[in-house]
Chain A
């Protein structure tokens, strides 16, 4: 066993009480005690601190206990930190559990949402296709109705067309005007609207109750 190892063993043996540097010098006479101790301090294996008038050495495993035993302020601060640590640990645990639960919920929700999105996309496309087909059919009947009811210069009251198409399609007043608006927006160059009347489509805040095919 080397002198350094013997020295560490001796310091460990002294426990939390520590051992005076002068005593070590006596015990290990003939060895370069100061250099060995300096190396051990540098490596963090031991601590050297003043205890009363003398310098004492502690092994790193016992130095904390030495401080707790000898310094009341340190002990209080240490206990406070310990309490805080415990509190943080508890909170962290709770947070971790919550996060874990939330994450699994979010993942589950997102998966559902993704699935729904896919389904909606598919439905949307389907309904869009249906709507387009319906709009074309509606257009044919709309044009036919306009043609039937139009006066000599082509104008016709929306109400007349609405009456006929609502009955034919079994749709409400609102549905008719929704479809009519879609139709006129899509084929805006083929229809002309005129203000007045008692029902129709509102543009610029003006009720346009007359329509004709251009």
Chain B
């Protein structure tokens, strides 16, 4: 059993999404983008409903965002949407899988991008269209079904014949199709209907050699999709780039204004810029796209969290994966997001949670705990370290300390204890003299006093999350008037430019604070090893204690 009572790991492990992975779509930006695409489809659909599609019914949609931001996921999600299956025909083409990217290979890939289900539905629709004509005795429509007198004697109907064609038991006779449909359909459309009936849609249409033929066939397919299926044609071209032939092909398609068609181009900002350099004419057309889908902010923490949670929400019971569980997991993910710049993208985060799920399952953990994430980072990314951590704090401890350091009072108290422990440890190692026991410190703002190696009497004050200027001045004044210290060190967590003549203000950032607390825990539990010892003294030096 996986964490949160899941039967399977909800996270995909493939570096790029598969169609089944793309069934789940999380994240506000991604859902907004989805709504925009659906809006485009809805708008066009309503416009041409009840009328014949014309060359004015073409739409261009661009999706431009960085690699790993979820563009392919969005495209595949839209392709797989059940709600679109009744009003769209979608061909998805990944241009990165095509070589060379000339017009023929692009066209071939586009034909291959139509699903088998679509071809079956199309054929069925055409067969029943012709059956109706045959029943109405229109010209020689019954010839298509090879329907003769013997069929009547045997009791076979046109419906039976139509079903035999659909189940490939009967090859239709398309010799008179041109005569039958002439005037109602163009020659190209009739050719397409013929190859559909004969079951050679992909094979026979691939033969087009000239660009104008390719454009004509594509336009004819779109027209027929609307006429027979009442569906819009959506051509999705993923990983679109500045390849010369690709650009020429797209330019031709855009110029042709394919009827009842939406062309969706998916690319990176880099490709977009290269297109501008390579072919200003195409770039100009892209700039005038009807919809420019923007996934801005797709790598923000909120977006990543929402996407990550959506995978669990999709499979888990709401009573088990509660709001509290979400908050708990969010805090752990936030630490990874904050501390590792490399993981600020959804692809890396999904990979981490995939491994964390597996690790937690092996250990029988009920949730994704700190150890699961720590193990994942150590095993999947062994070279990674928390940047700036002197003590080499393991990620699991880092997350734990990070989470408990939200209470200012407790944090200040922990830091104070940690610094005292660090000076005591430095004394045990001969780096400084013993801490002084004095009553001078009471109400002075000073936390402790010790003598450094040169015999200088050093007073130390820990100031966490306070009005620093006021606090520092007060402490400096007090040390001048009350204390017999030669030097004052103020350790504070807020970046400051404040300085006084008697005080050295040392900034201890989040990582140093966690280093201090980690050291302190080890010191209290007598767990300081040789390596820790060197690091601890380095930590003391880094905050100018010795």
Contact = CB atoms under 8 A, between A and B. Distances in A.
Interface in A172-214: 189, 192-197, 203-204, 206, 208-210, 212, 214
A113 to B, nearest CB: 9
A125 interface: yes
A58 interface: no
A152 interface: yes
Interface stretch (B150-158, B264-272, B430-438): B264-272
B397 interface: no
A118 B544 CA distance: 11
Given A203-B341, A214-B297, A194 B65 contact: yes
Contact of B268 (A129, A132, A194): A194
A118 B501 CA distance: 9
Given A196-B270, A203-B342, A204-B342, A110 B499 contact: no
B297 A155 contact: no
A79 interface: no
**Interface range, A side:** 20 to 34
A121 interface: yes
Contacts of B276: 151
A197 B276 CA distance: 13
Contact of B273 (A118, A197, A214): A197
Contact of A196 (B271, B296, B496, B506): B271
B292 A125 contact: no
A210 B498 contact: no
A125 B300 CA distance: 32
Given A121-B499, A128-B497, A196-B269, A153 B292 contact: yes
Contacts, number: 81
B294 A151 contact: no
Given A121-B499, A196-B271, A107 B454 contact: yes
A189 B303 CA distance: 12
Interface string B18-55: 00000000000000000000000000000000000000
Contact of A194 (B66, B300, B487, B495): B66
Contacts of A203: 341-342
A196 B268 contact: yes
Interface in A62-88: none
B379 interface: no
B64 A153 contact: yes
Given A122-B499, A194-B66, A196-B270, A117 B504 contact: yes
Interface residues of B, number: 34
A155 B487 CA distance: 52
B121 interface: no
B296 A214 contact: yes
A91 interface: no
Contact of A210 (B269, B299, B506): B269
Interface in B256-291: 268-274, 276, 287
Interface string B305-325: 000000000000000000000
A114 B499 contact: no
Nearest to A206: B67
B272 A151 contact: yes
A111 interface: yes
Contact of A192 (B296, B341, B342, B496): B296
B326 to A, nearest CB: 21
B543 to A, nearest CB: 12
B505 A125 contact: yes
Contacts of B506: 121
A182 to B, nearest CB: 13
A195 B297 contact: no
Interface string A97-115: 0000000000100110010
16 contacts: A114-B487, A121-B504, A125-B497, A125-B498, A153-B272, A153-B292, A154-B294, A157-B273, A192-B297, A192-B299, A196-B268, A197-B273, A210-B273, A212-B269, A212-B296, A214-B297
**8 tightest A-B contacts by CB?**
A196-B270, A129-B497, A194-B66, A155-B269, A110-B454, A194-B269, A125-B499, A210-B269
